Chain A
Amino acid sequence: MIRCENLQITFNPGLPTEKKALRGIDLEIPEGEFVTVIGSNGAGKSTLLNALAGDIGSTGGKIWFGEKDVTRLPATGRTRDVARVFQDPLAGTCGNMTIEENMALAYGRTERGNLSFALNSKLRDIFRTQLARLNLGLEDRLHSEMGLLSGGQRQSVSLLMSALQPSKILLLDEHTAALDPKTAALIMDISSQIIAEKQLTVLMVTHSMRQALDYGSRSLMLHEGKVVFDLQGEERAGYEVKDLLNLFAKARGDGEELDDDKLLLGS
Chain B
Amino acid sequence: MSMFAFMGTLEIGFVYGLVAIGVYLTFRVLDFPDLTVDGSFTLGAAVAAAMIVTGFNPYLSTFCAALAGASAGMVTAWLNLRFNILHLLASILTMTALYTINLRVMGKPNVALIMEPTVLSPFEALGLSSMYLKVIFVAVCALIIGGLVAFFLQTQYGLAMRATGANPRMAQANGIVTKEKIYAGLALSNGLVAIAGALFAQTNGFADSTMGIGTIVVGLAAVIVGESLFGSRNMWVIIFSCLIGSILYRLAVSMALSADFLGFTASDLNFITAALVAVALILPQLRREWKARQAAKEAQS
Q: Which residues of A contact B (CB under 8 A)?
A: 53, 55, 75-76, 79-80, 84, 86, 91-98, 101, 104-106, 108-110, 112-119, 145, 161
Complex: A98 Cα to B160 Cα, angstroms: 13
Cβ-Cβ contact count across A and B, 8 Å cutoff: 86
Complex: A55 Cα to B178 Cα, angstroms: 13
Q: B170 to A94, Cβ gap below 8 A?
A: yes
Within the complex, the shortest CB–CB distance from B167 to chain A, in Å, comes to 5
Within the complex, the shortest CB–CB distance from B152 to chain A, in Å, comes to 7
Complex: A108 Cα to B158 Cα, angstroms: 12
A-B contact pairs, 8 of them (CB 8 A): A79-B175, A91-B169, A93-B167, A97-B159, A97-B166, A108-B174, A115-B155, A161-B174
Complex: A26 Cα to B174 Cα, angstroms: 27
Complex: A42 Cα to B129 Cα, angstroms: 74
Q: Which residues of B contact A (CB under 8 A)?
A: 152, 154-160, 162-163, 166-167, 169-178, 233
Q: A91 to B167, Cβ gap below 8 A?
A: yes
- Chain A residues contacting B154 (CB-CB under 8 Å) are 117-119
Residue from B152, B166, B167, B175 within 8 A of A112 (CB atoms)? B175
Find the A residue at minimum CB distance from B155.
A115
Within the complex, the shortest CB–CB distance from B172 to chain A, in Å, comes to 5
6 cross-chain pairs, A with B, having the tightest CB-CB distances, nearest first: A79-B175, A94-B166, A118-B159, A118-B156, A109-B175, A115-B155
Complex: A86 Cα to B173 Cα, angstroms: 10
- Chain B residues contacting A113 (CB-CB under 8 Å) are 156-157, 160
Further contacts, 17 of them, CB under 8 A, given A55-B172, A76-B176: A53-B173, A75-B173, A76-B172, A76-B177, A84-B173, A96-B166, A96-B233, A97-B166, A105-B171, A108-B174, A109-B175, A110-B175, A114-B155, A114-B157, A115-B155, A118-B159, A161-B174
Task: Indicate whether A118 sits within 8 Å of B174 (C-beta atoms), given known contacts A93-B167, A94-B166, A94-B167.
Answer: no
Complex: A100 Cα to B196 Cα, angstroms: 34
Q: A112 to B170, Cβ gap below 8 A?
A: no
Q: Which of B157, B166, B170, B176 has the most CB of A within 10 A?
A: B170
Q: B173 to A108, Cβ gap below 8 A?
A: no
Complex: A108 Cα to B174 Cα, angstroms: 8
